[in-house]
Structure 1
Amino acid sequence: MSTFTNPILKGFSPDPSVCAVGEDYYLVTSTFSYFPGVPIYHSKDLVNWKQIGNILDRKEQLPLEGAGHSRGIFAPTLRYHNGMFYMITTNVDHGGNFIVTAEKPEGPWSDPYWLKDAPGIDPSLFFDDDGKCYYTGTRPNPEGPKYNGDWEVWLQELDLETMQLTGVSTKIWAGAMKNAIWPEGPHLYKKDGYYYVMIAEGGTGYNHSITIARSERIDGHYEGYKNNPILTHRHLGKAFPVHNVGHGDLVETPDGQWFLTCLASRIFDGYSNLGRETFLAKVEWEDGWPVVNPGIGRLLAEQEHSLPMVPVEQQEQYDLSEDSPAFMYLRHPQMENYDRKSRAGWLRLHATSETLKDLSSPTYLGLRQQAMNYTLTTQLDASSLANDKAEVGLAVVQNDRYAIRLVASPFEEGFTVRMITTIDGVDEVVGEVTGMGALLELSFIGEGQQVKALVKDIESGREDTVAENIDTHYLSTEVAGGFVGCTMGLYVTSDNKGDYADFNWLEQKITK
């Protein structure tokens, strides 16, 4: 039997939702303030995934003006019914809950159907045997929350003709624990005459968990499973290397096997710089209830897998002359600043005065950081720059107040290369090399929570260490807060309109 390693999606990939279409599987995750929104992946084995696009790839679908890094798009759900794909999610600051549809998972996806009278977050869809569609979501206690996190899961029919809710809104569950906090991420399933509602509760941090209830009627009464939670790591101690387990979705294979995708965070020296990632577990049904990884009851770093493996090539180096669905931008990128026409084989990034500290759209092209042991390298030509306040180079971004940069700036007859940390909004230069040329290779080398910054002058062959042994634990949820993981990539800024730099390639290589 083959084995696989968790996580199945490395790096910032929270709130996974999965659906099966025959022997093909599709999965989506949250993107918050990044554009395009909601990546969609395809797999034949639930382990090896290839990104085939992004569902929200037009500004009309994804208003993000002024969104904080952990605002924007929360918790998408992906479902398939009668030849149509449905993705439902929440834009927390711009319109609330909405649905988009497509006949093919690659798109094109429709403009949003904004849902009226649909409070709360984390919506999901369920298609019953009679053809009716039901919305589930989570909302504050309508009588007024009695404590922080006093929310409830609710159900209402969705009219597929009008794409609006119809009928009565019904509370169906408030979680397994007494005074449960943040019952969210609900999904409905039907099996052997029962309706099951599976949720996350306990908050998205260390006490996160997955719980389940069932009913013979879709609108309840839902009876909680006596052995809840069906999955959590909160009882394993903080020294355990995987925390925050929750927000699951079940999927059944054509031959009747069941699996669960969920989010969890790998911990490195006490911190989760990579954010919440997507993990996979086996599910067996016993006495009408799901058991996750029977006999073990937790996520595994390596696990046997019963489906035939269909490997997918993992890309490390990106030819910047071509777009990629893996590329991520902040909020609403001005795509004219990402120029692939002016210099053949290169990407020309036009600078603006906006920086990574601004809740706007600086010129930044990122990838999800996938490992703590890595090299991130690019080759750039900064010869067009004249403004000594311009910066061109690499950045690792947690949010607008926590980041690191390795950037070149014009200085006298050459360029100065600096490594700069941003901690709680305050910049500090932690290393500097002067007298470099304009054609440079810049590299971050990550070794756990320590980072080294290197520069190479391509024309002269000179190589220097800009900084080393720089601690990066603050690029984590535990310090920076929020719900995102780090991204890393290319960055340009300048007060001088017309400044630009050319980039030849970008490589993120996992070294351990």
Structure 2
Amino acid sequence: MEPYPNPLLAGFNPDPSVVAVDGTYYIVTSTFEYLPGLPVYRSTDFAHWEQIGNVGTRPEQLDLSAVPTGAGAWAPTIRHRNGVFYVIVTVPRGRGCVVFTATDPAGPWSDGTVLAGLNGIDPDLAWDGAGNAYVTYSGLLLDGANMGKHLGIQQVRVDLESGLLLEEPRPLWSGTGLMFPEAPHLYQRGEYWYLMIAEGGTERGHGVSIARGPSPEGPFEAHPSNPILSARSTTRPVQNTGHGDLVEGPDGQTLMVLLGVRPGGGTRAFSPLGRETFVTRVEWVNDWPIAEPVSLAVRSAVTDSVRFDGPLDNRWIAVRRAPESVATVDVSRSELRIVADGSGLSGPSPAFIGRRQLTIAVQSSTTVDISRGVGGLAVRYDEDHHYEIEARATRRGTLVTARASVPGLCQQWSGELPAGPVTLHLDAARPATAIFSTEMMTSDHVSLWAEASGQEVRLARIDGRYLSAETAASFTGRVIGLYATEGTVTFSGFDMHGSDL
């Protein structure tokens, strides 16, 4: 059998959940502090995926305005029953545990029903034969006197219409004793109910473990060879593998979608794109699943060219607010305008819209008119970790500044170009040398440069390890996009091209 592309969904796409409906597959992933939240991807062959919408398109659905970095929309589960799609998700420091519904997964999705009193993360939704709705979740307490305490895997029956919990939560099987049992999913297959979880933490120790029992409430018997999937202490190119969800694939074989990272550098220590969605095959032996190790099968090239000749598409995201509140498209001129509002890239809600970086090697660019403002092109991991190239009009022409910000440090480099529109470039590439050295120890380097009127200025080549899953606070990934810090900045197009071969 031909391998599926891996990553299946490249770039910032962690905590995947999948459902199959009438031969079509749908995946949702986490988005944390970004809006719109919870992208919905669709495929009929499990190889080619299209983003058809987002669950959280209206700010009030998730209430992210004041969530700290690292909180927000965590670990959704998507399910389908009786013609209705359900997405259940926890929004720490936002609305709490919320259930959204839609008859069309492209949207619109409902305003959401809050499951008041459910104190935990990573909720799963399943129904038994009598129609009882079970929410199974990771009992990390998010508020109250015992905030931060972990109660293991919990379960409760709920009324999805009212949001009421119908009983006191009960503890379930919580794995083999590794840290952070989380990401539970409950399935019925044959005579058994299966409880699959992640444990070991979402870093290098991450793994998938499973148990089975006679009912959704258990009792559960552990797989004799848990964890059934982990890349810990191996040389596999995909690490941190865990947080899986099962589905029957197009060929009838069970597939597991899961998160993983692609670390680079001499000791494979840094993952610039953060946690991505991968897939692996699962065999069943004696009614137990056995997962294949996650292979790497990157696409040859990825091109993302945007011309502002219509409304913003569903792939643009912004920080704690909707992209449409940040940017305005002038279709008649094929331009996008961002009006600065006093926020900067180091603030919680910058005047910034971006798109996920999909390949480690990438070339991105935009042409800006800064006659009425100051702004540019940036790659952001969070408010403490970002690199950017910015243009400002001066009496003599255009001042172009490259800047690198990491916690407690900021360095910048400047150069001059002629007046008028300027094209800004932000490129990333893996180290060119295989010789043991400081050069080969990082994941990649980010180059910032600009050109105007036939002249160019190359300002900086910055170590990329500081914008990686291992160094940044957020659970997200690199997002490349456009921003303004003063006045009004006009952008003509945005291009991003890359390959990981």
What is the TM-score of this pair, normalised by structure 1?
A: 0.89
1:22-421 mapped onto 2 (5 Å cutoff): 22-140=22-140, 150-177=150-177, 180-236=178-234, 240-253=236-249, 256-269=252-265, 270-293=269-292, 298-302=293-297, 315-322=303-310, 323-333=312-322, 335-341=324-330, 344-359=333-348, 361-385=349-373, 391-421=374-404
Deviation, 1:148, is 8.0
Name the counterpart of 1:464. 457
Counterparts of 2:95 and 2:328, CA distance in 1:
32
Name the counterpart of 2:495. 507
Deviation, 1:336, is 4.6
Deviation, 1:344, is 2.1
2:352 maps to amino acid:
Y
Deviation, 1:174, is 1.6
Question: Residues 435 and 253 (structure 1 numbering): CA distance in 2 closer, same or farther, change over 3 Å?
Answer: closer
2:455 maps to amino acid:
R
Render the CA deviation track for 1:399-458: whole Å, top value 9, x for unaligned. 1111101110222332111110001143211x321143230111112112112222111x
> Structure 1 residues 408-417 or 40-49, which shifts more?
408-417
Counterparts of 1:254 and 1:183, CA distance in 2:
30
Q: Does the 8 A contact of 1:321 with 1:347 survive in 2? A: no
Counterparts of 2:148 and 2:133, CA distance in 1:
31
Q: Does the 8 A contact of 1:123 with 1:186 survive in 2? A: yes
Counterparts of 2:323 and 2:291, CA distance in 1:
45
Question: Residues 503 and 148 (structure 1 numbering): CA distance in 2 closer, same or farther, change over 3 Å?
Answer: closer
Counterparts of 1:279 and 1:253, CA distance in 2:
14
Give every structure 1 segment of 4 or more consecutive aligned residues whose post-TM-superposition deviation is greater than 6 Å. 144-149
Counterparts of 1:72 and 1:171, CA distance in 2:
25
Deviation, 1:45, is 1.6
Render the CA deviation track for 1:439-492: whole Å, top value 9, x for unaligned. 0111112112112222111xx22222222x321211112222331111111111
Matched, 1:445 2:427: yes
Deviation, 1:199, is 0.4
Aligned-pair Cα RMSD in Å:
2.3
Render the CA deviation track for 1:28-79: whole Å, top value 9, x for unaligned. 0000000010000000122211000111000110211232331111000000
Counterparts of 1:123 and 1:354, CA distance in 2:
34
User: Please, which runs of 5 or more residues in structure 1 have no aligned partner?
Assistant: 304-310, 386-390
1:288 maps to amino acid:
D
Name the counterpart of 2:406. 423
What is the TM-score of this pair, normalised by structure 2?
A: 0.91
Question: Residues 409 and 63 (structure 1 numbering): CA distance in 2 closer, same or farther, change over 3 Å?
Answer: same
Question: Residues 146 and 355 (structure 1 numbering): CA distance in 2 closer, same or farther, change over 3 Å?
Answer: closer
2:451 maps to amino acid:
K
Question: Residues 150 and 489 (structure 1 numbering): CA distance in 2 closer, same or farther, change over 3 Å?
Answer: same
Q: Does the 8 A contact of 1:333 with 1:363 survive in 2? A: no
> What number of residue pairs does the alignment pair up?
481
Question: Residues 253 and 10 (structure 1 numbering): CA distance in 2 closer, same or farther, change over 3 Å?
Answer: closer
Decide which of 477, 484, 494 is 1:492's aligned counterpart: 484
Q: Does the 8 A contact of 1:417 with 1:436 survive in 2? A: no
Name the counterpart of 1:308. none
1:455 maps to amino acid:
A
Question: Residues 7 and 222 (structure 1 numbering): CA distance in 2 closer, same or farther, change over 3 Å?
Answer: same
Matched, 1:434 2:423: no
Deviation, 1:2, is 3.3
Name the counterpart of 1:307. none
Deviation, 1:241, is 2.9
Q: Does the 8 A contact of 1:150 with 1:181 survive in 2? A: no
Decide which of 450, 459, 468 is 1:455's aligned counterpart: 450
Question: Residues 67 and 162 (structure 1 numbering): CA distance in 2 closer, same or farther, change over 3 Å?
Answer: closer
Deviation, 1:4, is 3.0
Deviation, 1:96, is 1.1
Deviation, 1:288, is 0.8
Q: Does the 8 A contact of 1:400 with 1:425 survive in 2? A: no
2:192 maps to amino acid:
Y
Deviation, 1:155, is 1.5
Q: Equivalent residue of 1:61, what SS?
A: helix
Q: Does the 8 A contact of 1:14 with 1:278 survive in 2? A: yes
Q: Equivalent residue of 1:335, what SS?
A: helix
Deviation, 1:145, is 12
Matched, 1:475 2:467: yes
Q: Equivalent residue of 1:131, what SS?
A: coil
Question: Residues 476 and 113 (structure 1 numbering): CA distance in 2 closer, same or farther, change over 3 Å?
Answer: same
1:424 maps to amino acid:
P
Deviation, 1:332, is 1.6
Counterparts of 1:39 and 1:18, CA distance in 2:
12
Question: Residues 198 and 145 (structure 1 numbering): CA distance in 2 closer, same or farther, change over 3 Å?
Answer: farther
Q: Does the 8 A contact of 1:76 with 1:90 survive in 2? A: yes
> Structure 1 residues 164-173 or 88-97, which shifts more?
164-173
Q: Does the 8 A contact of 2:302 with 2:499 survive in 1? A: no
Matched, 1:8 2:3: no
Counterparts of 1:68 and 1:161, CA distance in 2:
30
> Structure 1 residues 160-169 or 2-11, which shifts more?
160-169
